[in-house]
Amino acid sequence: MEVFRAPRALCDHYFHSYAFYKIALRALQPVIALEQEMNMGNVYDTLTEINMIKERLNEHSCIRVLDEEGDSWDAYFSFTLPAKEPEIADLESRWYIPPSYKQFLSVSNGAVLYKDVQYGQWGFYLYGTKDLITKNEQWHKLYSSLPNDYLVFAESLGDADFLIINTCHPEETNECVIIGSDVGYEVSTWPIIAQSFAEWLSYLVNSQGAKYWEN
């Protein structure tokens, strides 16, 4: 079953004004809620989302976006070479790697998404295979209450937020939920923000890099 994706069309064609931005962002919320309720995480494809981003990049690897304050700015993107099979196999010896995230690593071994090129105070740094190991050692030391199954796969630029794959996945699906950190609160209360990595990436693109889970 295909879920209606009108907000993406709004994002692509009508985000030239703040009013349209707010309308589209509000319109996106019930779609996200509906998709989560229907557990539609497996309808998303990581490669499709990445290709959609790459098709919109200008010669400086940027996309012009409009934020919640009504300001437009250039969001920078950077992708790398694919991870090698032994590198992914090494990760799989440590954690369960869900299909949509494995697909990402097979296309780009790490990435920078929606980086504010002027101030560097916004964006997401997605770890490559090498960083995944060292960064998770650091995060788990810093937050000793993080379960061993929590794989931190990205961090926010400009703040202390980070994103987690809960690799302890339900038996009925091969995918894993994405959790957003909420520093200052108990880890057990941190929210699930997507049903898979591909779903999270799709929502992020729909919301033009905004932290949709905080709206």
| DSSP-derived secondary structure letter, 126 | E
Domains defined for the chain, CATH in brackets:
6-206 (3.40.1580.10)
49-58 long-range contacts (CB < 8 A, ≥24 apart) are 49/198, 49/201, 49/202, 49/205, 50/79, 50/104, 50/107, 50/108, 50/201, 52/205, 53/77, 53/113, 53/205, 54/79
Pairing assessment for the beta strands 72-79 and 62-66 based on DSSP bridges: antiparallel
**Which of 120, 88, 106, 122 lies closest to 207 in space, CA to CA?**
122
**pTM here?**
0.79
pLDDT in tens, the chain (215 residues): 333 333 444 334 333 333 444 444 454 554 444 444 444 444 589 999 999 999 999 999 999 998 777 888 999 999 999 999 999 999 999 999 999 999 999 999 999 999 998 888 899 999 999 999 999 999 999 999 999 999 999 999 999 899 999 999 776 788 999 999 998 889 999 999 999 999 999 999 999 999 999 87
Q: Do 183 and 155 form a contact (C-beta atoms < 8 A)?
A: no
Cα–Cα distance, 135 to 152 (Å, whole number): 8
